[in-house]
Amino acid sequence: MSDSDNESAETQLKIVIVGEPGSGKTSLASRYCHGEFSRQYYPTAGVDFFLNRTVLSGGRNVTLQIWDVGGQALVGNMLDKYVFGANIVFLVYDVTNLISFENLETWLNAVRAITASQHKKPGIILVGNKCDLEHQRAVRHDRQNKFIQENGLPFHLVSARTGENVPLCFQKTISEVLGVRLTRAEQEQQQPVMKAEIVASAAPEAPSPRPAPTVQSRSSVCSIQ
């Protein structure tokens, strides 16, 4: 096979996104695949699927099968069927939701147990979502960093709402799993142009004019007799 055939050959990767309900897993996949974000929240029942294609350095084509796993899967009996065979697992939590962070270890242990028999273990990536709400952060940085160090996980801080770091998170992870070096220029290309969101506020109501004071005139009547 020639070098050109190698470059045009398409690689397929299975990416599984897991985490607590409401952590933004569907929004993350939708932002990456479609460039969209919805403020409406619909819990994922079972699993949703997304498909995306990307091109890495050297013209390597990659097809991504993204499995968006519902947050209730942890207590069901289908998680092993969703996760097994994954090349990449994104472990997602919401930086404004402490419970979503505290349950990460349960999710991580479940994923590791399911994939223990795989010949090639998946890359497990920790993803902190909703970084645009840093002022509402509930997960302390020291706890976050301790979890990362204790479990040896790569980490990305993203915002599915604004798109911040989302393309870079996917592209960098895919490149590392496939052993492809992502150049600095390519990393910068994955950063979206951030736009400030302007919220229009209602114009203040003009004060009602005060009624003119009533002037009572008193007339004196002089009676001449």
Q: Enumerate the domain spans of the chain.
A: 3-189
How are strands ordered across the β-sheet holding 155-157?
47-56, 60-69, 10-19, 88-94, 123-129, 155-157
Would you list the DSSP string of 158-219?
--TTT-TTHHHHHHHHHHHHHT-PPPHHHHHHTSPPP-PPPPPPPPPPPPPPPPPPP-----
Instruction: Provide the whole-model pTM.
Output: 0.80
Give domain 3-189's CATH number out of 3.40.50.1820, 3.40.50.300, 2.40.110.10, 1.20.1260.10. 3.40.50.300
Query: What pLDDT was estimated at residue 44?
Result: 81
* ∠ CA 68-84-95, rounded to 5°: 40
Query: What pLDDT was estimated at residue 185?
Result: 67
Per-residue pLDDT tens digits for 125-147: 999 999 999 999 999 999 999 99
